[in-house]
Structure 1
Amino acid sequence: MRRSALRKCWLLWWLVAPVVVAPRVAAQQSEWATLPLIGSEQDERQRLGQLRGDTAGPGLLRAPSRSLPWRPDTAGVVARYLLPEVRLVGNSALPLSLNDGPLHAGRGVNALVTAGIVVEAAKVRLVLAPQFVVEQNLPFQVIQFPQRPDLPRSVWANPFHPPPESIDLPLRFGDDSRLRLDAGQSSLTVRLGGAEVGVATENLWWGPGIRNAIILSNNAGGFRHLLARTREPLPTRLGPVDVDLVLGRLDESGFFDADGSNDSRSVAGGALVWRPAGTTGLRLGAARLRIGGPAGHDQMSSLFGQWVFPSGGFEMYGEWARFADPTSLRDFLEFPNHSQGYTLGLQWARPLTRERTVRLQTEVSYLEPSASFRVRPVMTSYTSQQVPQGFTQRGEVLGAAIGPGSSSQWLAGDLFSPAWRVGVFAGRVRYDNGVLYEPIVPVFKLQDVSILGGVRASREYRGVRVLVEFTDTARLNYLYQAYLDDPIATTSRGIDIANRTLSVTFSTAPGH
């Protein structure tokens, strides 16, 4: 037992040591760079700067290579090391993993380490930013997928989504610990005038959402893709326009089915953001993603917008999506909400002193089956009839972190200074609520809901920034499970589980 504890201490040291040592080395050598990861503390402060009117903000089409500045054109080849980032996540009873990229933070201790190198030569840039993933994956209660000869799926596959509403979303990724090296946030881009083309495995985030982006987010690991995009917004008479196009491949997890012929599938998509001429702080956008496999294809589309009022420190944003195309104009006019999902959010910030700012934010997402299910069939969001794995990458949803058929509410408040921040948050998630209307779950079932709250704080010291977040979650009616409480009154009571999550992220502050 003592050896096990020592091994854990050594592993923790080797994970954290690069972040502690790197700023000291970087102070002596100029060729270092920080990769702006989606959802990082740097990303968070850029959005706060946009709210205050200090910076332009991270934009609505985000990717690490988009946010990484190009060096001025110089002769020869220039190489820079990427300062590492280490994220540690521990869950006491159940998995809780939201927007963690290739990391699925199951029960136990988990780690995600990002580091690498940037090489630039004239108009070509190579970012090698692999991510090292450690998942302890301790056991917890799951419901196994029924073993049927006509449907050979893994016992770990999601039991609530057999065909036709199929999705590759395992409840648990096997029963062993997982240790792997992922291609991570790597990319190769070439500048062509006002555009960039290339190949990448990095995460993409389309839309204004803070917690949930419906089409693409960093909830799953990045997928291999070709890219073509604008470097800067293209000027037009109607206002600047930003474009992002991708063509790539999605991979199945190892815990879905026994059919090796459909382990990969195609994905193609595009997004556009327009800043109307004559407006300030207003951005409107649209996105569409299409997946295809041997049996057919599926798609989802969204419209989104963001309006920032820096003079008042106020922002409102929203995204509206459909997971099924209307069959005609009449169909759209009759059922505009069919298969819809949406996210709405507000942010407000106010300076208290020259260096301290308070920020409040709230976000509501709704991806549950639309009301039209009363008169016509509605597929659960992110599932697919034509592509069995649905809109997933290696077993995790490409879009909103709350997952298929879910809804959430979020409220947070933070106090910022240049060197630190502290905050509190609370939220509610109702998981995959459409399952309640299916016979898959037996009687005496109740909606699966998480009520959560927590605190978070970050501190910069000698070039190292540490972000700590603690979340206390009450998972009510876990996996819809309930038992008969009163046979006469036919009332039922749910099975509840308490889970505590501690995450610690070590990164390097920009400028160090």
Structure 2
Amino acid sequence: YWNYGDHPERFSKEYNSFAWWGQSYISLNAGPLALGASTENIWWGPGQFNSLIFSNNARGMKHLFLRTSRPANIFIGKLEAELIVGRAEDSGLLPSQNERLNGLFANPFRGDWKYVTGLTVTFQPVFLPNFFAGLNRTFQQYNDDVTDDFQGRMPILEAFQKVNLFTNDNSVVYDSRGQDQQVSFFLRYYNIKANFEAYAEYGKQDHSYNWREFILNPEHARAYLMGFTKLFKTGTPGSLFQIRAEIVQQAESVNRYIRYADQNDGNTSWHTHYQVRGFTNEGQSMGVGIGVGGNAQILEVSKISSLNKIGVLLQRIENHQDFYNRAFGSSSNKKPWVDFSVGLLWDHQWDRFILSSKTQVIQGVNYQWENSSESSADFPQGQKLFTFSGTLNLIYQIHK
């Protein structure tokens, strides 16, 4: 797993403090189009807490973009789209805090940067004005491996079915390109009168050989998320109760037992790849931020008024499930490592100042799959770990 990704356990001192362009961009707008350069975080898809492709989890990468600055009317509906070309970096850090374990790190970093291309398209049909459907697709490849032609620079336009790309049904030549690709499809529906929104996103990390394989085996190399938001009136003008929830599933499906029977019940996880070290920038996943192979269930209940909020956040995270299944399998002495957390949310605005805060207490069960001192083979009991986390953000608006 360490050799297929770039997710160090701890960042070194040079990551503790650094200068960066942050959420900066420059663009030229011409009618419905915008062309520019940016280091902003990109968020694609309908997710509220997570996104399968791009989110604000990792540091924003340097990229050029061409996008619609407003929905374009194409008669049968409205269309929004964005095309990016970017540069993602490896962290260059060893994966473990334990030097002895770093001896298992057999695939050192190349010292090259990753060429990233991406395309997102969202369609809102005229006959279903509250419904959205969309597609996200990304490719990444170490820059030294990119061929200097249109196909090499814009692989996001190639066919989805691998059968159209292989030579004599052999993938050796195609795999030698050293490319990694992700694709996701998403749906979103909202109803203003009901104060309700629902959404879902389904992604594939490894494209199917043909449409037959996709239909018969849609769970291979997949990840998905789904969620909703519902608002209730409180009787106080301008004040609402909000309930929102989301689940995200990254762990490999059970078809790994058949597909990878000779590879110890697993291959690679979402956001990892054996040639390009995963969909990461500076050692962090650019999409889902709960950890490699992790699953999560999230529920928030809050009272909101304009930008003011007070609420409770509940989370359950299954950590590194793909690693757990591969390392321990059905071992009765090792149970999954699961974190349960409760958080308090408080956001408030005073004139031009906006304060946003979150405090969380986290109970880790079977922490790092270690058994406690009173554990036995007949009655295995995992270690527990109690932690606290707090975040405070302060914003000053120059123009109100």
Q: Same fold (TM over 0.5)?
A: yes
Moved more, 368-377 or 215-224: 368-377
Aligned to 1:134: none
The answer to whether the 8 A contact 2:70-2:80 is kept is yes
Aligned to 2:125: 276
Rounded to whole Å, the distance in 2 between the matches of 1:437 and 1:169 is: 19
Aligned to 1:470: 359
Aligned to 2:179: 297
2:339 is the counterpart of 1:450? yes
How far 1:420 sits from its partner (Å)? Answer: 2.6
How far 1:193 sits from its partner (Å)? Answer: 3.0
How far 1:190 sits from its partner (Å)? Answer: 1.1
Q: Flag the 1:176–1:206 CA change in 2: closer, same or farther, 3 A.
A: closer
How far 1:375 sits from its partner (Å)? Answer: 1.2
Rounded to whole Å, the distance in 2 between the matches of 1:484 and 1:170 is: 28
Rounded to whole Å, the distance in 1 between the matches of 2:118 and 2:292 is: 20
Paired amino acid for 1:275? Q
- Name the SS of the counterpart of 2:388 in structure 1: strand
Show the 5 A alignment for 1:151-230: 161-163=1-3, 166-174=4-12, 178-230=16-68
Rounded to whole Å, the distance in 2 between the matches of 1:495 and 1:331 is: 42
What's the C-alpha RMSD, in Å, of the aligned pairs? 2.2
Q: Structure 1, residues 155-200: CA drift from partner, whole Å, max 9, x if none?
A: xxxxxx134xx11001111367721111211212112332111211
Q: Structure 1, residues 80-126: CA drift from partner, whole Å, max 9, x if none?
A: xxxxxxxxxxxxxxxxxxxxxxxxxxxxxxxxxxxxxxxxxxxxxxx
Q: Which of 340, 361, 366 is the matching residue for 2:244? A: 361
Aligned to 2:165: none
Q: Structure 1, residues 427-451: CA drift from partner, whole Å, max 9, x if none?
A: 1000110112224899743312110
TM-score of the aligned structures, taking structure 1 as reference length:
0.65
Aligned to 2:116: 267
Rounded to whole Å, the distance in 2 between the matches of 1:368 and 1:409 is: 13
How far 1:238 sits from its partner (Å)? Answer: 1.8
Q: Structure 1, residues 245-285: CA drift from partner, whole Å, max 9, x if none?
A: 01111101131489563441111110000001122321111
The answer to whether the 8 A contact 1:435-1:441 is kept is no
Structure 1 spans left out of the alignment, 5+ residues: 1-160
How far 1:243 sits from its partner (Å)? Answer: 0.5
Aligned to 2:233: 351
How far 1:380 sits from its partner (Å)? Answer: 1.0
Q: Flag the 1:496–1:203 CA change in 2: closer, same or farther, 3 A.
A: same
Percent of matched pairs sharing the same residue: 24
The answer to whether the 8 A contact 2:328-2:334 is kept is no
Rounded to whole Å, the distance in 1 between the matches of 2:114 and 2:15 is: 27
Rounded to whole Å, the distance in 1 between the matches of 2:141 and 2:22 is: 23
The answer to whether the 8 A contact 2:375-2:381 is kept is no
Q: Flag the 1:371–1:488 CA change in 2: closer, same or farther, 3 A.
A: closer
The answer to whether the 8 A contact 1:450-1:474 is kept is yes
Rounded to whole Å, the distance in 2 between the matches of 1:162 and 1:311 is: 49
Q: Structure 1, residues 5-61: CA drift from partner, whole Å, max 9, x if none?
A: xxxxxxxxxxxxxxxxxxxxxxxxxxxxxxxxxxxxxxxxxxxxxxxxxxxxxxxxx
How far 1:363 sits from its partner (Å)? Answer: 0.6
Aligned to 2:93: 255
How far 1:481 sits from its partner (Å)? Answer: 2.2
The answer to whether the 8 A contact 2:80-2:122 is kept is yes
How far 1:350 sits from its partner (Å)? Answer: 2.0
Rounded to whole Å, the distance in 2 between the matches of 1:418 and 1:471 is: 24
- Name the SS of the counterpart of 1:466 in structure 2: strand
Rounded to whole Å, the distance in 1 between the matches of 2:189 and 2:359 is: 31
Rounded to whole Å, the distance in 1 between the matches of 2:376 and 2:356 is: 50
How far 1:484 sits from its partner (Å)? Answer: 7.7
- Name the SS of the counterpart of 2:18 in structure 1: strand
Q: Which of 485, 492, 495 is the matching residue for 2:380? A: 492
Q: Flag the 1:253–1:488 CA change in 2: closer, same or farther, 3 A.
A: closer
Structure 2 spans left out of the alignment, 5+ residues: 95-104, 146-176, 261-266
- Name the SS of the counterpart of 2:213 in structure 1: helix
Rounded to whole Å, the distance in 1 between the matches of 2:289 and 2:89 is: 18
The answer to whether the 8 A contact 1:446-1:482 is kept is no
Number of residues paired by the alignment?
348
TM-score of the aligned structures, taking structure 2 as reference length:
0.82
The answer to whether the 8 A contact 2:92-2:109 is kept is no
Q: Structure 1, residues 210-242: CA drift from partner, whole Å, max 9, x if none?
A: 111000000001111111111111111220100
